Structure 1
Amino acid sequence: MSYTPLGPRETGRGRSGRLPHSPERPFVSLLRTAAPAAALLLLAVACRQVLADGPLLGPDRDLAAELRTADAAARGLYQLLADLGNMAVALPVFAVAAGWVLVRARSCWWPVCCTVPALVCVPVVVSGLKAWTGRCGPLGGEGYFPSGHAATAAVAFGCAALLLAEHAGPGGARAARPAAWSLWAAAAALTAANGLGLVVRGYHWPLDVAASWCLAVVLTAAASAAARRGPPRPGRRRRVAPDRG
């Protein structure tokens, strides 16, 4: 039965992995654009503060010292939270989410391909910033800005939530709005808990963690934009008229 004069109605995601067009609320569209731009600006400000020994570093150290007083009360708990940023913990969480999406929607390979480069970029970008800034850590040593553990946790959990919220339904459909918000809230809670554990245990300054979160917003937003755009389609070859002159 034909729904339109153009042919049968399509549902779900086609072979190309592209989501069908659906109108988006202006606020959501604005947030998708403004959030990564603001995060990139804040990351630049944080780098400038570290390089120039700016005025934010004083409160940053004071906050770290105050938070570390809670270490003795629950040392094991905060160590567990800090370990959420280990690759052995964060990457399997992402792998389970990616595998679930591929099983639920076998044609939904493109979003997974978009999120993997975001994870690959984390150690590359973080290592470059560490070498550039050379910030000392709370317990000594150099190369602590930004936090690699915080960035790994934020990108892995954020990309997992992105895949499950946007592409885990039948045929690659989006999850219901309450379920999607719950996934994003869980990712944010795990990311915040990891950052708190890193600061309380003395592995990083708060500014190190905040800068990593900004980097994660930029990388996750880029993966989301690429996934929504869909895979590149092969262009049609233009016919060149033969020269009859």
Structure 2
Amino acid sequence: MPISAHQEHAPPRARPGALVPVPLLGAPALLFALITWQVVADGPLLRLDERLSRVLAGPDRFSELLSDLGNVGVAVPVLAVAAGYAAVRAHRDGTGRRWLPVVAAALLMALVPALVVPLKELTDRPGPPLVPPGTGYYPSGHTATAAVAYGGAALLLLPGLRTATARRALVAVCAVLVLGVSYGLVRRGYHWPLDVVASWCLSAVLLTSLWLFLARTPRPGGTGRP
């Protein structure tokens, strides 16, 4: 079949996920490195962090409940239910390699403690005044657990939603849950604000990596958006 001049000089079609801007990975990673350096070096950013914590902290029952949404026993089952639904849907639709998204999300969740625990030991940061004396508060494990569990669940469920409104609603619910946990942890005095911000950065890198992987995974009938 002859090739037209337009086809001959047309740029190659980008693969799914190839248009994701580099800042989605680079900017959070750079900010995380900066905050970690300030924590390890006891830099001036920590003085600002402590002043901000004194302004924001004010324990109440509502903040306690919000912080509990970041518990492993609450957030991880949500991801497990979303993974089960994604696997059943893929099996029903006859999608090849149906277990890849589920396995990828599970591995990402397992990676959270594998990264957070060594970082806590490395930085050895003391906690805010409202918690018992101790160290190992940076970064926030509850924030990272909530972000990766709820964010991973959203990424698994998005391809099954047919309308843009439904997809936006799911992403909004995920964001509200993560922000709620973050607010609860700082308000209750369980973490410094920078502990939470650092976990946002770490989770952004992890979830963007999962998004890029899922964008290259076959969807039912070749449809669905990562």
- Which structure 2 segments of 5+ residues have no match? 1-12, 219-226
Counterpart residue number, 2:109 = 119
Amino acid at match of 1:135: R
Matched with 1:208 is 195
Equivalent residue letter for 2:28: A
Corresponding position: 1:89 with 2:74 = yes
Q: Residues 199-224 of structure 1: CA distance to partner in whole angstroms, max 9, x if unpaired? A: 11111000000111111111111112
**AA of the residue aligned to 2:68:** D
The structure that has the greater radius of gyration is 1
Task: Say what the alpha-carbon RMSD is for the aligned residues.
Answer: 2.0
| Aligned pair partner of 1:38 in 27, 42, 56 | 27
Give 3-state SS (helix, strand or coil) of 2:87's partner.
helix
Q: TM-score, normalised by structure 2?
A: 0.82
Question: In the alignment, does 2:54 pair up with 1:61?
Answer: no
Q: Does 2:157 correspond to 1:164?
A: yes
Deviations 1:137-183 (A, max 9, x none): 003310000011110000000001111113x25xxxxx422211211
The one-character-per-residue Cα deviations of 1:102-160 (angstroms, maximum 9, x if unpaired) are 22221332211111111001001001110110000003310000011110000000001
Please point out which of 70, 85, 110 is paired with 2:100. 110
- Tell me which amino acid in the other structure corresponds to 1:123: P
How far 1:90 sits from its partner (Å)?
0.1
Distance in 1 (alpha carbons) for counterparts of 2:124 and 2:187: 21
182, 190, 197: which one pairs with 2:177?
190
Partner of 1:52: 41
Residue 230 and residue 30 in structure 1: after superposition, are their counterparts in 2 closer, same or farther (change >3 A)?
closer
Q: Is 1:77 paired with 2:66?
A: no
SS of 1:207 mapped into structure 2: helix
Structure 1 residues 219 and 23: CA distance shift in structure 2, 3 A: closer
AA aligned to 1:50 is V
Aligned equivalents of 1:89, 1:109: Cα separation in 2: 23
Q: 1:118-157 counterparts in 2 under 5 A?
A: 118-138=108-128, 139=131, 140-157=133-150
Aligned pair in 2 of structure 1 residues 178, 125: CA closer, same or farther (>3 Å)? same
- Give the whole-Å Cα distance in 1 for the aligned partners of 2:124 and 2:17: 43
Q: Secondary structure at 2:44's aligned position in 1? A: coil
**AA partner of residue 57 (structure 1):** L
Q: Give, in whole Å, the separation in 2 of the partners of 1:215 and 1:133.
A: 15
Residue in structure 1 matched with residue 205 of structure 2 by the alignment: 218
Q: Distance in 1 between matches of 2:99 and 2:45?
A: 43
| C-alpha distance in structure 1 between counterparts of 2:44 and 2:164, whole Å | 42
> Unaligned regions of 5+ residues in structure 1, if any?
1-20, 170-174, 232-245
Q: Which residue of 1 aligns with 2:168?
A: 181
Residues 150 and 174, structure 2, Cα contact 8 Å, conserved in 1:
yes
C-alpha distance in structure 2 between counterparts of 1:76 and 1:85, whole Å? 15
Moved over 3 A (4+): 21-26
Whether the 8 Å contact between 2:17 and 2:212 is mirrored in structure 1 is no
